[in-house]
């Protein structure tokens, strides 16, 4: 694996070199260094790298700017793993296509885990070119992780966050429903002002039991229809607003109404 270390601190680059040298032989390869984004761009233009271990705060362009430029070069771009002392940039890092985000001082086992993740994603892309599902960054037990969009059953607003529900568990993201709807419009439909549901996850449209309907606060009853969505992979139902009911009926019949 050919690796480019980009960090303005020479001691940080030396530490990464030592950690990489101590890893098993499968991870060994050419290692080059750059002290800033400008020097990194020159090296990237001259030779091929599999991975860039990238700091964020550097003189000149930041690591985030360099990562965006790397991602823009296309599917053959090297993988990017951020190595930084600043935890607060993690969400931005993943939005720039990072494969992982390591905080200094980096532990050897955490570095190897990141390399393994890069290798697995590369192997998946090679086996299924262009087939990798879009991903989003979510919070799980205080950590930032990636979730493939094709695993998501629905998004639901909750206070300042959005719940990301898969068949296995619930996650949180800071992205709003409106932003998620713009980014991932295909295969998602808004069934309620607070819920986006994956169309593949809808099992049926059914009437809300009278007891549940009667228990709704007046403000919610005024907005919701007396219908709800039942999901395929969860024993759970989602609310349906009066406004969205015609669209959902049309989808389940096999076609959306004009202008939807």
Quick: pLDDT tens for 40-77.
999 999 999 999 999 999 999 999 899 988 887 777 78
Quick: pLDDT tens for 121-139.
666 556 555 444 577 878 7
Residue 238 Cα distances to 67, 153, 167, 244, 247, angstroms: 39, 11, 14, 12, 15
In the chain, where the domains are located: 3-127, 137-253
pLDDT score for 37: 95
- Distance CA(125)–CA(22), nearest Å, equals 28
Q: Give the global pTM.
A: 0.55
Q: Is 87 or 48 the better-scoring residue by pLDDT?
A: 48
- Distance CA(191)–CA(153), nearest Å, equals 13
Asked if 105 contacts 15 with a C-beta cutoff of 8 angstroms, the reply is yes
CATH code for the domain defined by 137-253 = 2.40.50.1020
Architecture of domain 3-127: 3-Layer(aba) Sandwich (3.40)
Asked if the model's pLDDT at residue 95 lies above 90, the reply is: no
Asked if the model's pLDDT at residue 15 lies above 60, the reply is: yes
pLDDT score for 178: 86
Decide if 3-127 and 137-253 have a common fold: no
Q: Is 187 or 173 the better-scoring residue by pLDDT?
A: 173
């Amino acid at each position: 694996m050919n690796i480019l270390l980009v960090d303005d601190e020479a001691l940080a680059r030396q530490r990464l070199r030592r950690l990489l040298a101590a890893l098993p032989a499968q991870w060994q390869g050419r290692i080059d260094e750059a002290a800033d984004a400008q020097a990194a761009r020159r090296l990237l233009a001259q030779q091929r790298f599999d991975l860039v271990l990238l700091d964020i705060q550097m003189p000149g362009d930041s690591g985030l700017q360099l990562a965006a430029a790397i991602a823009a070069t296309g599917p053959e771009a090297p993988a990017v793993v951020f190595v930084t002392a600043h935890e607060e940039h993690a969400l931005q890092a993943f939005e720039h296509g990072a494969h992982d985000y390591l905080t200094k001082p980096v532990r050897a086992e955490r570095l190897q885990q990141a390399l393994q993740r890069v290798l697995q994603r590369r192997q998946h892309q090679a086996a299924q070119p262009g087939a990798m599902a879009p991903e989003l960054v979510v919070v799980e037990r205080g950590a930032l992780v990636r979730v493939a969009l094709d695993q998501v059953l629905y998004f639901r607003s909750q206070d300042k966050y959005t719940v990301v529900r898969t068949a296995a568990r619930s996650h949180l993201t800071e992205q709003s429903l409106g932003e998620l709807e713009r980014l991932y419009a295909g295969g998602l439909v808004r069934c309620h002002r607070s819920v986006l549901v994956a169309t593949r996850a809808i099992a049926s449209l059914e009437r809300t039991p009278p007891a549940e309907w009667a228990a709704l606060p007046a403000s919610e009853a005024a907005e919701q229809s007396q219908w709800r969505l039942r999901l395929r992979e969860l024993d759970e139902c989602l609310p349906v607003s009066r406004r969205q009911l015609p669209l959902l009926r049309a989808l389940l019949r096999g076609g959306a109404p004009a202008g939807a």
